[in-house]
Amino acid sequence: MRKATINRKTTETQISATIKIDGEGDYDVRTGVGFLDHMLEQLARHSLIDLSLRADGDLHIDAHHTVEDSGIVIGKAVAEALGDRKGIRRYASLYLPMDGTLTRAAIDVSGRPFLFWKVAFTAPKIGDFDAELVREWFQAFAMNAGVTLHIETLYADSNHHVAESCFKALARALREAVEIDPRQKNKIPSTKGSLAG
């Protein structure tokens, strides 16, 4: 079973997350940040990775630490659950449309963390959520999951759709990339013989 639980406690946040890679997209998420909950629910539902997450953060300051640290914890959980990454498809890409918004995601579950981010928001807020925190979450996730991730919004009709399409595009690409390839289920998909980074 490709599962992992990560607990992380700092002076800013206390977060616990459990994931199951081969899940059904079930989720139980409570961060105290409504928009973040919504995005993480989209991530779970469309990746088919079961996610349970509880966060207690310093929201009296702002949502920055809670958002970033949830990306760290989920990323670490994905890395741990994948183990040596034997048998995975490794690469995937996807165009995700949401009404008048189109976002492209490409991922390499390589063990080498990198984020390419070409996403623009036309306002600093999505409701009461700081739009700049979307990138912070993706940066934290990519660095801790050990994935190379490229996200680009090609055009957009709303900032909410921009953020949501980024999470959904990641979810669908991640779902494909971590699936077991029946043609190489006992092999690591690298000529180096390792995806340890």
The residue with tokens 């390839």 is 181
Sorting pLDDT into bands at 50, 70 and 90, what band is 106?
very high
Residues 170-179 have pLDDT tens digits of: 999 999 999 9
The identity of residue 43, as a single letter, is L
Domain boundaries, the chain: 3-178
pLDDT of amino acid 192: 87
Residues 17-60 have pLDDT tens digits of: 999 999 999 999 999 999 999 999 999 999 999 999 999 999 99
Answer whether 44's CB lies under 8 Å from 29's CB: yes
pLDDT of amino acid 44: 98
Sorting pLDDT into bands at 50, 70 and 90, what band is 61?
very high
Homologous superfamily (CATH) for 3-178: Imidazole glycerol phosphate dehydratase; domain 1 (3.30.230.40)
State how far the Cα of 43 lies from the Cα of 185, in Å rounded to an integer: 25
Using the Cα atoms of residue 60, residue 62, residue 63 and residue 69 in order, give the sign of their dihedral.
Answer: negative
pLDDT of amino acid 196: 76
Answer whether 149's CB lies under 8 Å from 170's CB: yes
Answer whether 169's CB lies under 8 Å from 103's CB: yes
